[in-house]
Structure 1
Amino acid sequence: MAGCIFAAFIFGCQKTAELEQPSDSLDSAAPSVLMKRPNILLIVADDLGYADLGVFGSEIPTPNIDALVKNGMLLTNFYANMACSPTRAMLMSGTDSHLAGLGVMNPPQNPAQIGQPGYEAYLNFRVASMANLLKDAGYRTYMAGKWHLGETVETGPRARGFEKSFISIDGAAHLGGLSWDGPGLAPYRDGEDLVTVGDDFYTTRFYTNRMIEYIEADRGDGQPFFAYLAYTAPHWPLQAPRASIEKFKGWYDDGYEALYQRRFSRMKELGFVPEDAEGLPPVEGQPAWQELTEERQRIEARKMEIYAAMVSDLDAYIGELITYLKSIGAFDNTFIFFMSDNGPEDKRRDLNNPAIAEWVAACCDNSYDNLGDADSYVMYGPNWARASSVAFYRAKSTGFEGGIHVPAFAHHPTLVEGGVRNDRFATVMDILPTFLDFAETDHPGAAYRGRSILPMKGKSLAATLKAPEKTVHDEAAYVGWELYGHRALRQGDWKIVWDAAKGDDAAWELYNIADDPQEQNNLSGNERERLNAMISLWETYREENGLKP
């Protein structure tokens, strides 16, 4: 079997809206196309860690995902952005989040960013949307799940090319209708209608069933479909049906250090971690498991049980969708791409964010017996997050590998070489050009529907998915990241990171990712010439992508 089988972590391959903005919601005369081109199924998990899937060595059973990976291609060197909406902007546009409108996740407070292009806090109209382009190419376009790219109808999925959609506008709790940030009920959009949901609502189940309904309604019309399934699991607050949680009772009673070591050892066995790697140190300032009281241990273990249930349910409902596609004869002509939007969440926003903490105190019962229910609200914190990343340092909202290096795979019987690990460097910006290749259509270039637009920065993965020895990005290519002061840039095996959490002590750190995938050996003092070259490249990135300031 050709392709990348063993080595990982290398740069190669070895065996509030402005309503005057234009809208893209106009119905275009999409051609009727015989269904020879593949259907496209895009699945995005939310805050899923690199080590949370069975295929990466997790104890959480994910047999449906594992089966897709076994017959597909695992992308072990795939990068998203540091957080939810910037990744989704890059995904939908094929370009940098600072160009596509998500240089910040919320309307900016920094005077230098207010009113500036790229800081609209919604997917702006300087880019053409993935759904619009695929719809123009003759695809049916459906979405169910988390949008997080604009709160109004004018900046919602319908305005950007989705014919049918049911969305959480910016994320939500998982069971019932309560808002994740309060007060009151979470807002959803069914098409263009603002709605709320009932007590029997479970996001992972509902989004899957709604997507099946969309596909079934148009089945037989001769057009391929593009289905975007943007799950909110396993994003906080941690909630799952009681029966799902009970499957994992007792699994994590020996604590987060023990879980880290089990997963770390298993990832070594599977070749995802170098044999000589020593593992990451415990999270600074956090108590060891044995320092916790028995009651505290019981509560902490329960949180991980809920998290595991959410991941397991994610897999189960993906399995239901796959079963449906097989039942209608569509599976063999459906290209599937799966990814997480960023690394695991290590913050305790339920405690440290005053607005959320106030809402949690008002809405929820976090007694042990109620944990995981619709009126509970907890997060699992930095110690379990460390075990979710395992191979990588830090977590979501940072430029370290644990924040941006995410699980991803592709599956198709003929378009993807099966049973292969591909270690070629790739990013979320590469997904749109890949889909356009499979749809046999082109990006419009500099103009779309009477307005100027930006080109894509990503490159198609089509060739390397078929022949893993083929490169996607050459050694001169580079990718940058920035969000709320956290920064990173990678070129080849080299990467610089600016850790904004260090405040006045922050400085550029330099790592060789091939030699040090866990970013434990800062070479900034030893490789001054390389560091200065990377900083110069960062300044080029900053200028090209309009970062402010």
Structure 2
Amino acid sequence: MVAQKTKKPNIIVILADDISAREFPIYNSDTWSSAKGNKDSQDLKLRAHTPMLNKLAKEGMYVKTAWASVVCSPSRAMLMTGRYPHLHKWWGNNTIGQYTDEDGNLGTYPLFASSPLSIGHVAKKGGYATMWSGKSQMRNRNLQKFGFDEGVFTPGESDITELGENPYSNFTIKLKKVNGKKELYNQDTGKPLGYPYYASSSWYWKPHVMLMNHPSSKKQFEWWPNTKESKKEYGVNTYGPDVELDFIFDFMERKVKDEQPFFVYHTTHLGHAAMNYLNPEEHEYKWIETPKITWKNGGYIKTKPNITGAKGVYNTHGTLSASGIHSHVNYLDYQIWLYLKKLKTLNIDDNTLIIFCADNGSSKYGKNSPDSQKGTHVPFMVYGPGFNFTKKGEQDVLVNLSDILPTVAEIGGVEIPKDYEINGESLMPFLTTKKKTHRDWVYGYKDNLQLIRGAKVLKDGLNKWYDVREYPLDLISFPEIKNWDNVPKDLVEERDALNLILPKYNTFKNNQHGPLKEVHKRELKALQEKKKAKKEATKNKKMNKKEK
């Protein structure tokens, strides 16, 4: 295929889900997650094998200290807006700010309202055709307002009001009321789940897939499969991450043919724990099996999945991987191999930039944790063989996920208005000049907790300070600073400088929400007081019980 005539580079941002930097061998941690994720491991059988991600890191560059937030929604908000929560109001998964919408109703403050220059809009302004594929995490409402021409979503929620019930997949956990009591039911088995979980639909095997503005559909939103051929092929052997990538490659092919540069935002579920519909009893294993892949002679061989059975009783016939986060990292590596092959086939490998990162730390280790940098430390790689970058391999600098949006803006030639606050900093000056550092500090958050790190010291969400001048073998066990009288002066100076930065962003208590009508302000205040009273009553009840 003839290469695109446009000089503007294509951009692919791949966001993995719930995977700490320590799970990637290139980061040289001596510790990683066990198969169940319930403890740390040094078992080499549970170590990921990532020849293609290593290639990205070594031939491109990878960042030693890249920070996200500590959990999904606020991290994705940071990446998509280039901003921190004092502006976008996505403080945590369960503490997203409210606002009075255009119809006068109280609702969740969406990013397209808080931050009209989100990453999809910025790419569009730069002349890119835009696609979003994978997990949305945007509450699956008004996805057409985020600046993407097309979307292929494996949403994960059990209900999407725009489309109603998915007619193709019964891999769903639903909350039902039985005899006046709410219970979770596995729609596939027709039986109550029997253990704690949450209402959700499958994004791995027999996935729920929603299309947005796809050429094969006459509707803005539609469930997939939506053609005679795709309906014939769809079933229990259909794997969500494969579907997402197939649609991405189709999009890339069409845009190369149209000679239009493209921006792909690939938010894979790989790394995220999930319900194992193939073996519902194995709920202790968080990371369900992927298709089996084998690295041989510089390439991957994939075993075609052969899953048979129905209603919760399935046989995989040895065609799937072992359970564990390492298998998910391995499958990401396989997909990177497919990406690079596709770029070469399309003759655009020297005109495409890949940014690979993750949204927060691994489940049961870092996810949701404000402790040290467990929750915030994520992989970050930039690869573009046709770019004259001055940096290669490991870079001992600081990067925030907020830096991706201004980087895309600079590559696309989009100027952000001076009165529009962006908290991220473009990576292009660091990547293309002799500049030795990128930024002086990185920031993370969870609700009212703030984390900040410079080159020498780190303050976590528990208000503990650490000396981070040298990395420990497990990437986390930094020496805690308890007595500031015994540390070098430059560490004290950096601590003081970081403490001056934090108040600007610490608005959770007094400015948690977006624009509100007075009536909604009163409603939220009353709800907050009710929760506070309930919490106090529970506390008193426990104290009284203890005294008795």
Q: TM-score when scaled to structure 1?
A: 0.63
Q: Alignment partner for residue 198 of structure 2, among 175, 181, 192?
A: 181
- 1:4-83 superposed matches below 5 A: 35-57=6-28, 59-83=47-71
Q: 1:164 to 1:66 in 2, by over 3 A?
A: same
Is the contact made by 1:95 and 1:455 (CA closer than 8 Å) also made in structure 2?
yes
| Aligned twin of 2:120 | 131
- 1:144-543 superposed matches below 5 A: 144-152=133-141, 154=142, 156=143, 158-169=144-155, 177-178=171-172, 181-182=198-199, 188-191=209-212, 192-193=220-221, 195=223, 198-237=235-274, 238-241=287-290, 243=292, 305-346=323-364, 385=365, 395-413=367-385, 414-417=387-390, 419-446=392-419, 454-467=420-433, 469-474=435-440, 478-499=441-462, 508-515=463-470, 518-527=476-485, 534-543=498-507
- Deviation at residue 523 of structure 1 after TM alignment: 1.6
Measure the CA separation in 1 of the matches of 2:377 and 2:170. Answer: 32
Is the contact made by 2:357 and 2:378 (CA closer than 8 Å) also made in structure 1?
yes
Measure the CA separation in 1 of the matches of 2:459 and 2:266. Answer: 33
Q: 1:145 to 1:69 in 2, by over 3 A?
A: same
Is the contact made by 1:77 and 1:426 (CA closer than 8 Å) also made in structure 2?
yes
Return 5+ residue gaps in structure 2 as ranges. Answer: 30-46, 102-106, 159-168, 174-196, 213-219, 226-234, 275-286, 297-319, 487-491, 514-548
Q: Which amino acid in the other structure matches residue 447 of structure 2? A: Y
Is the contact made by 2:85 and 2:505 (CA closer than 8 Å) also made in structure 1?
no
Q: 1:439 to 1:533 in 2, by over 3 A?
A: closer
Q: 1:395 to 1:323 in 2, by over 3 A?
A: same
Measure the CA separation in 2 of the matches of 1:468 and 1:427. Answer: 20
Q: Which amino acid in the other structure matches residue 484 of structure 1? A: D
- Deviation at residue 399 of structure 1 after TM alignment: 5.0
Measure the CA separation in 1 of the matches of 2:128 and 2:172. Answer: 35
Measure the CA separation in 2 of the matches of 1:527 and 1:334. Answer: 50
Is the contact made by 2:288 and 2:323 (CA closer than 8 Å) also made in structure 1?
no
Measure the CA separation in 2 of the matches of 1:226 and 1:246. Answer: 29
Q: Which amino acid in the other structure matches residue 483 of structure 2? A: G
Q: 1:89 to 1:217 in 2, by over 3 A?
A: same
Is the contact made by 1:245 and 1:309 (CA closer than 8 Å) also made in structure 2?
no
Q: 1:544 to 1:84 in 2, by over 3 A?
A: closer
Task: After superposition, give the CA deviation of every residue in 1:462-513 in whole Å (9 maximum; x if it has no partner).
Answer: 1211246433224xxx4443213443122442221233xxxxxxxx211122
Q: 1:416 to 1:38 in 2, by over 3 A?
A: same
| Aligned twin of 2:191 | none
Task: After superposition, give the CA deviation of every residue in 1:293-326 in whole Å (9 maximum; x if it has no partner).
Answer: xxxxxxxxx9974322222111112211210110
Q: Alignment partner for residue 93 of structure 1, among 58, 81, 96?
A: 81
- Deviation at residue 184 of structure 1 after TM alignment: 5.9
- Deviation at residue 441 of structure 1 after TM alignment: 2.0
| Aligned twin of 2:230 | none
Q: 1:434 to 1:333 in 2, by over 3 A?
A: same
- Deviation at residue 169 of structure 1 after TM alignment: 3.0
Return 5+ residue gaps in structure 1 as ranges. Answer: 1-32, 248-301, 347-384, 386-393, 447-453, 500-507
Q: Which amino acid in the other structure matches residue 223 of structure 2? A: V
In the alignment, does 2:71 pair up with 1:105? no
Is the contact made by 2:71 and 2:367 (CA closer than 8 Å) also made in structure 1?
no
Is the contact made by 1:395 and 1:401 (CA closer than 8 Å) also made in structure 2?
no
Measure the CA separation in 2 of the matches of 1:494 and 1:463. Answer: 25
Q: 1:479 to 1:184 in 2, by over 3 A?
A: closer
Task: After superposition, give the CA deviation of every residue in 1:259-298 in whole Å (9 maximum; x if it has no partner).
Answer: xxxxxxxxxxxxxxxxxxxxxxxxxxxxxxxxxxxxxxxx
Task: After superposition, give the CA deviation of every residue in 1:87-119 in whole Å (9 maximum; x if it has no partner).
Answer: 1111111111341231232365xxxx65499x9
- Deviation at residue 41 of structure 1 after TM alignment: 0.8
| Aligned twin of 2:165 | none
Task: After superposition, give the CA deviation of every residue in 1:43-77 in whole Å (9 maximum; x if it has no partner).
Answer: 11111121222323484221221122221011112
Secondary structure in 1 matching 2:397: coil
State the superposition RMSD in angstroms.
Answer: 3.5
Q: Which amino acid in the other structure matches residue 172 of structure 2? A: L
Task: After superposition, give the CA deviation of every residue in 1:22-41 in whole Å (9 maximum; x if it has no partner).
Answer: xxxxxxxxxxx951011001
Q: Is the radius of gyration larger for structure 1 or structure 2? A: 2
Secondary structure in 2 matching 1:514: coil
Task: After superposition, give the CA deviation of every residue in 1:165-212 in whole Å (9 maximum; x if it has no partner).
Answer: 11133579xx98435832666764310425377423312211111100
- Deviation at residue 217 of structure 1 after TM alignment: 2.2
Is the contact made by 1:121 and 1:150 (CA closer than 8 Å) also made in structure 2?
no
Q: Which amino acid in the other structure matches residue 132 of structure 1? A: H
Q: Percent identity?
A: 23
Is the contact made by 1:40 and 1:336 (CA closer than 8 Å) also made in structure 2?
yes
Q: Which amino acid in the other structure matches residue 288 of structure 2? A: Q
Secondary structure in 2 matching 1:488: strand
